[in-house]
Amino acid sequence: MATAEQRGGQDDPESDDEVYEVVDLTEYARGHQWWSRVFGNNSGPIAEKYSVATQLMMGGVTGWCAGYVFQRVGKIAATAIGGGFLLLQIANHSGYVQVDWKKVEKDVNKAKKRLKKKANKAAPEINTFIEEVKATDFIKRNIVLSSGFVGGFFLGLAS
């Protein structure tokens, strides 16, 4: 049986002749996006896959659907809230309910102050969340799709 010295020191773990390759992970990550590993090499930003007309159509259709749903849900919510206030006023006027409006005003002002304090504390958290998500990067890379979505959203709200 040959010793490690006779074989050139290849299998000897303590040999000083071993060569290691240094891999720069940042360069590797730039060249190998996560979506390539998950979906294959043909996937990537939408701008690389579809024509401008297709991107506008996809963005417009999804935006219109979102705007239409937003409009319908908004109408239902506004009707429910407005109807509730109307019924409360009718009940108050008929004498079924006695509302202490001074107490309501006091509670609303207190809630406003709490909301302002919480909003000031929450703003930095929201900004860091937006930076982490990189929504602006997505919009910049897919500007045609995003433009179509915004236009479709407004059309959906109008219809």
Dihedral sign (CA 29, 30, 34, 40): negative
Residue from 38, 61, 35, 29 nearest 48 by CA: 35
More confident residue, 105 or 123: 105
Asked whether 143 and 55 are in contact (CB, 8 A), the reply is: no
Question: Which pLDDT band holds residue 56 (cuts at 50, 70, 90)?
Answer: confident
Question: Which pLDDT band holds residue 32 (cuts at 50, 70, 90)?
Answer: low
Q: How far apart are CA 142 and CA 58, in angstroms?
A: 12
Q: How far apart are CA 2 and CA 13, in angstroms?
A: 16
pLDDT digits (tens, 9 = 90+) for 65-96: 999 999 999 999 999 999 998 998 898 888 88
Residue from 60, 61, 37, 58 nearest 46 by CA: 58
> Pseudo-torsion of CA 134, 136, 141, 145, nearest 10°?
120
Q: What is the pLDDT of residue 44?
A: 52
